Amino acid sequence: MLLATTGISKSFGGNQVLKDISLGFEAAQIHALLGENGAGKSTLMKILAGIYQADAGSIMFEGSPASWKKSSQAQRAGISLIPQELNLAGHLTVAQNVFLGTENSTWGLLKDKQASATTAQLIREYNLDFDAHDRVSTLSPSQKQQVEILRALVRAQKVLILDEPTAYFSDRENEGLFRMMRQLRERGLCLIFITHRLEELEGLVDWVTVLRDGACVLSTGHANTTVPQILSMMVGGNIERIFPEKTRTFGESCLELRQISLPGQLQNVSFSVRRGEIFGLGGFVGSRRTTVAELLFGLHPRYSGEVLIDGKPATLQNPQQAMELGIAFVSEDRKTTGVFPHLSVIQNLSLLSIDRCSGRFLISESREQEIATQMAGQLKIRGGGLDRPISRLSGGNQQKTILGRWLLAEPRILVLDEPTRGIDMGARIELYAWFDRLAREGYPILMISSDLYELEGLCDRVAVFREGRLVKILEGTEIQRGNVVQYAALG
């Protein structure tokens, strides 16, 4: 056993987040750590990486007890945590980033050549598709993750903890990272892999551990378990239906794109969405699905072709025009384009309907509170006072708040870009029920998703994109994960 914990417990201010965790991690193993948000995964990983200290219990590393007080001590011993928000300097090259903090120098001058050569050798060894001299800001998210791993490798690490490395990229990009992970396993490293995407486990991981409410509820070889078993362990109980039944009825076409092109991005995209329909857009990252959504929200005014809303030609030159036409757009990246961290939950909800809470000049705070509280109640937004900053809420509740903000603006068409990314299963199921309910109320819903289960389980039709073209619209029983991947990859 390379690394083992015995009876680890941890509390924050009377709130016990880890209860008596005893786990073993082997060398040459990829160990998946699963669980809902708030299950304690991150806390456990931070204890292993020396960022937090356990209240009780012990850690054994390479046969001797370890009690790291700081992450630098754990790193010196050979354990690195690669965080989800990567710590790379975008303006520096790959080699400079890899050696950042451990530069070799003579007389104060950096040995840049040596660093580049070592980095280039590693890149060849792992067959990576970037160069030691590339600026990190020009790399894709998955390549950046690989740079982080290289960084850990030059420090001769034995355990790498990857915190949701794939949350921000899509299947094809994953493959590069997964290949690298398998190579690292062959060299005897232990990789602890946190993920929310269960489809990634197959063919990659050796061991599966599930945490729920701070306790370890399952820890077994991957071969001994199944996806449904893992899911029910995560949620705690049987998950009868994650997705609502597809028994919706459709009205007439409400949103129609005709031969939409955007230089260098989209080519002749045509489809139409009916009232009451959940229309999915599938494809890899870089297939320009988000461009379609942004275009509908007036963020790409230079398109050619025609957009019809309720049969009438629509001009979409800026977001204000799109909003007047009733388009609501829940954007892909909650943190950078969704929440207003300084505003309260109420203010985040009411922002787009502030005119409805105002008299001639002034906002009526009681009216604002009334409509926001009502929406928060309907969407079951949880996590403490609604008058506190939205940054205190979990990702799922933040996402509900953004959805609520748009619903309060009384739109007629919903455009949702990756609406459930990074959200735990419980909140997901609630959101799916909401999308179903909104569709039944007659909203046409256009939904981009990289989650294949979601496309299959929720959508009435799925348009698969590849490099800016719509290659196939899947309907009915054709909507299967395999088909989506096949069309997305091969066209």
Partner 1 sequence: MKILYKFLPYWSLALLFVVFASTAPNFLSPLNLAAILKQSSVITIMAIGMTFVIVAGAIDLSVGSLMALSSIFGTMLLAFMAAGSDHPWLAIGAGLILSVLAGVAGGWINGFTISTLGLPSFIVTLGTLGVFRGIALYITNGIPVVDLPREFGWLAEGELFRLIPIPVVILVVVASVFAVALRKTRLGRYTLAIGSNYEAAVYSGIEVSRYRTYSFLVLGGLAGLAGMIEASRLITGQPTAGEGYELRVIAAVVIGGGSLSGGEGSIAGTIVGAFIMGILSNGSNLLGISPFVQQIVIGVVIVAAVAIDNYQRRWK
**Cα 65 from Cα 70, distance rounded (Å):** 15
Instruction: Classify residue 89 by its DSSP letter.
Output: -
Smallest gap from Cβ 343 to partner 1, in A, equals 6
Smallest gap from Cβ 347 to partner 1, in A, equals 7
Judged by CB, which is closer to partner 1: 107, or 361?
361
- Stretch of residues binding partner 1 (CB under 8 A), selected from 3-11, 32-40, 254-262, 330-338: 330-338
Please tell me whether residue 467 adopts helix, strand or coil conformation.
coil
- Name the residue among 46, 420, 86 with its Cα closest to residue 243: 420
The distance in angstroms from the start CA to the end CA of the chain is 46
Judged by CB, which is closer to partner 1: 223, or 362?
362
Pairing mode, if any, of strands 159-163 and 190-194? parallel
144 binds partner 1 (CB under 8 A): no
143 binds partner 1 (CB under 8 A): no
Smallest gap from Cβ 331 to partner 1, in A, equals 5
Instruction: Indicate which single residue of 156, 223, 362, 490 sits in contact with partner 1 (rule: CB under 8 A).
Output: 362
51 binds partner 1 (CB under 8 A): no
365 binds partner 1 (CB under 8 A): yes
Binding mask 289-328 for partner 1 (x = CB under 8 A): --------x-x-------------------xx-xx-----
Instruction: Indicate which single residue of 85, 240, 245, 355 sits in contact with partner 1 (rule: CB under 8 A).
Output: 355
Judged by CB, which is closer to partner 1: 336, or 477?
336
Smallest gap from Cβ 360 to partner 1, in A, equals 10
68 binds partner 1 (CB under 8 A): no
Decide if 395 contacts 423 (C-beta within 8 A).
Answer: yes
- Stretch of residues binding partner 1 (CB under 8 A), selected from 15-23, 170-178, 193-201, 339-347: 339-347
336 binds partner 1 (CB under 8 A): yes
Instruction: Indicate which single residue of 27, 352, 429, 433 sits in contact with partner 1 (rule: CB under 8 A).
Output: 352
205 binds partner 1 (CB under 8 A): no
107 binds partner 1 (CB under 8 A): no
- Stretch of residues binding partner 1 (CB under 8 A), selected from 122-130, 241-249, 359-367, 437-445: 359-367
446 binds partner 1 (CB under 8 A): no
Judged by CB, which is closer to partner 1: 185, or 400?
400
Binding mask 385-414 for partner 1 (x = CB under 8 A): --------------------x---------
* Contact footprint for partner 1 (CB under 8 A): 297, 299, 319-320, 322-323, 329, 331, 336-343, 347, 351-352, 354-355, 358, 361-363, 365, 405
